[in-house]
């Protein structure tokens, strides 16, 4: 499907960068099955709902507070519900492993360590953010992906100041408690990545149309595997574009997170 759709998108439907990002975020959930999708920002939220309306109808999604949605409403809207998931049951869910979270990140390193806590020394930071939040528990328990709306070498640097999300180089293979560490994807405004490079290092899976390997390299503080040979990100299908534009995000929230 990719070649014809790519042609259509470039010449005809003219998908925006944000729409490529939404489709790439939807693809995060391909094959996820009957699990809780927990996107933490608008573009991955649109992606999760897009996946649910297309290939992954069994995904569970919430209103971001405590209600499990039966419907797949537009961003910012609620709909009919099918269940209850207060915070304490979220912790039960993540311990069960039946969840895939898409978190943001202030820093991500080559092995997938992530920081959203603070910059600087632990007890005397230079900038305070949220604290580690649920990142340690998410990453040790179930599939985790990251969404970075502005790909830069400040985010993708040599090392992270505070390890919130656990990277592959932290895994102790002798300790089965680490067996479920799985950083599935990193989607940015420049491309789609995973940690399938040598020794679980970051690897380019695709670059969005108009993005060059040089541009990614300039904006990343470490080498990315397969960067030169990465293909173009598949264009959103006509059905995906219709769902994004008319059903899920008619007011264009996606364009405030990713500028074309």
Give DSSP secondary structure letters for 92-139: HHHHHT-EEEEE--SEE-TT--EE-SEES-TTS-SEE-S-STTHHHHH
**Rounded CA gap, 114 and 241, in Å?**
31
CB neighbours of residue 170 within 10 Å: 15
Q: Which span sits near other proteins by CB under 8 A: 6-14, 114-122, 217-225, 232-240? A: 114-122
Determine which residue in the list 10, 54, 71, 133 makes contact with other proteins, applying CB under 8 A.
Answer: 133
Question: Site residues for other proteins, window 50-69 (CB under 8 A)?
Answer: 65-67
Rounded to 10°, the helix 17-28/42-53 angle is: 60
**Which one among 152, 178, 213, 247 touches other proteins, defined by CB under 8 A?**
178
- Cα(245)–Cα(47) distance, integer angstroms: 12
Please report whether residue 162 would count as binding other proteins according to CB under 8 A: yes
Regarding 73 and contact with other proteins (CB under 8 A), the answer is no
Number of residues that bind other proteins (CB under 8 A): 46
**How far is 154 from 165, CA to CA, in rounded Å?**
17
Q: Does 87 bind other proteins (CB under 8 A)?
A: yes
Min separation Cβ 50 and other proteins, Å: 26
Instruction: Name the site residues for other proteins (rule: CB under 8 A).
Output: 65-67, 84, 86-88, 91, 94-95, 117-118, 122-137, 139-141, 162-167, 170-172, 174-178, 181
């Amino acid at each position: 499907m990719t070649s014809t759709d790519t042609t259509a998108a470039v010449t005809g439907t003219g998908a925006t960068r944000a729409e490529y990002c939404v489709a790439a975020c939807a693809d995060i959930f391909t094959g996820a099955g009957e699990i809780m999708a927990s996107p933490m920002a608008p573009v991955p939220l649109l992606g999760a709902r897009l996946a649910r309306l297309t290939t992954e109808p069994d995904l569970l999604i919430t209103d971001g507070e405590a209600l499990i949605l039966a419907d797949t409403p537009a961003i910012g809207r609620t709909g009919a519900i099918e269940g209850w998931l207060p915070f304490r049951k979220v912790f039960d869910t993540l311990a069960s492993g039946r969840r895939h979270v898409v978190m943001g990140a202030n820093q991500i390193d080559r092995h997938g360590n992530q920081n959203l806590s603070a910059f600087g020394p632990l007890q005397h930071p230079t900038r305070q953010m949220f604290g580690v939040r649920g990142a340690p528990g998410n990453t040790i328990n179930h599939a985790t992906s990251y969404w970075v709306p502005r790909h830069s070498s400040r985010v993708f640097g040599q090392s992270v100041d505070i390890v919130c999300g656990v990277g592959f180089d932290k895994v102790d293979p002798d300790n089965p408690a680490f067996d479920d560490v799985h950083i599935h994807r990193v989607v940015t405004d420049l491309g789609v990545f995973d940690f399938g490079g040598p020794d679980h290092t970051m690897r380019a899976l695709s670059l969005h149309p108009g993005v060059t390997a040089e541009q990614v390299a300039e904006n990343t503080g470490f080498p990315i595997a397969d960067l030169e040979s990465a293909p173009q990100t598949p264009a959103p299908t006509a059905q995906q574009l219709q769902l994004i534009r008319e059903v899920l995000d008619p007011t264009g929230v996606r364009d405030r997170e990713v500028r074309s």
